[in-house]
Structure 1
Amino acid sequence: MPTSWDEFNAAASKLQAAGVIPFAHGGQPWQDATVFEAVLLGIGGNEFYQKAIVELDMNALSGPTMVKVFDQMRKLQGFTDKGMPGRDWNVATGMVMSGKAAFQIMGDWAKGEFSNAGLKPGIDYYCLPPLLIMVIYTMWIASFFTR
């Protein structure tokens, strides 16, 4: 399992080369915001999140950490497929369940889709916090990927 965005990017590149969509995503605004928050926290951490998102600190918003966040968002877009814009979340979840895609960042409600398909957590798929987000509650984010 990747433990950093660099490791995720390396794994995603290998998956893409093997013909697997690395990142299942629906390009709807709320899904984009969820992923952005996960990337921002994973790269910048709690203090950066506080400064950038809560305090709207211009130094944080225009600084090198935010540039890294947008660079990672750009990389994630390259790991999606052409059908991404406007896709419903459950369709993206279905891509992970079928093995067409490897990873998804989604709320915990996606677990219901896996359960309804008869898939077992820890056996058929894993549900983990997004990369490097272990100490802060972030809305409703969870990452799903097939085993």
Structure 2
Amino acid sequence: MKTTNKTKGGRKVKSNPKKYRHVFRLTESENQRLLTLFASSGMTNKASFLVSMLLDRQVKTVKIDVAALQYQSTLTKLFNQFRAVGVNYNQMVKLCNQYFSENRAKRSISKLEEYTKDLSKLCYYIIKLTKEFEDKHLNPKL
């Protein structure tokens, strides 16, 4: 008699199989709401989403505000320009002191100070607009 060791084919047996099934029905508006919640959760499997919703697990909802991203990128570019102006400012003062006479250097630096005051007013206005934007769009009060 020949004994052969053949393994069974098919799937591996799960240690904790899901064998209980529940069915429920939704109205059109309830279904739309459920699909919206599912889409905003970022999950890829509806079944795991529903289980997490039913069993009070925490569901993460990620909302991406395109306007806020654009505003942030514009502010970043503006900040880089401010840094460049600061570097140029330091270079100008150094060059004025190095190559100009004392009176001409004073006049050039005073003009530079006027432009700096205008720049600081603009910076104050940008900060004010940023705070308004954050209050309105990023931290809405419920």
TM-score, shorter chain, exceeding 0.5: no
Structure showing greater radius of gyration is 2
Q: In proportion to residue count, which structure has more helix?
A: 2
Greater relative contact order: 1 or 2 (C-alpha under 8 angstroms, separation 6 or more)? 1
Q: In proportion to residue count, which structure has more strand?
A: 1
Range into which the TM-score falls when normalised by the shorter chain? under 0.3
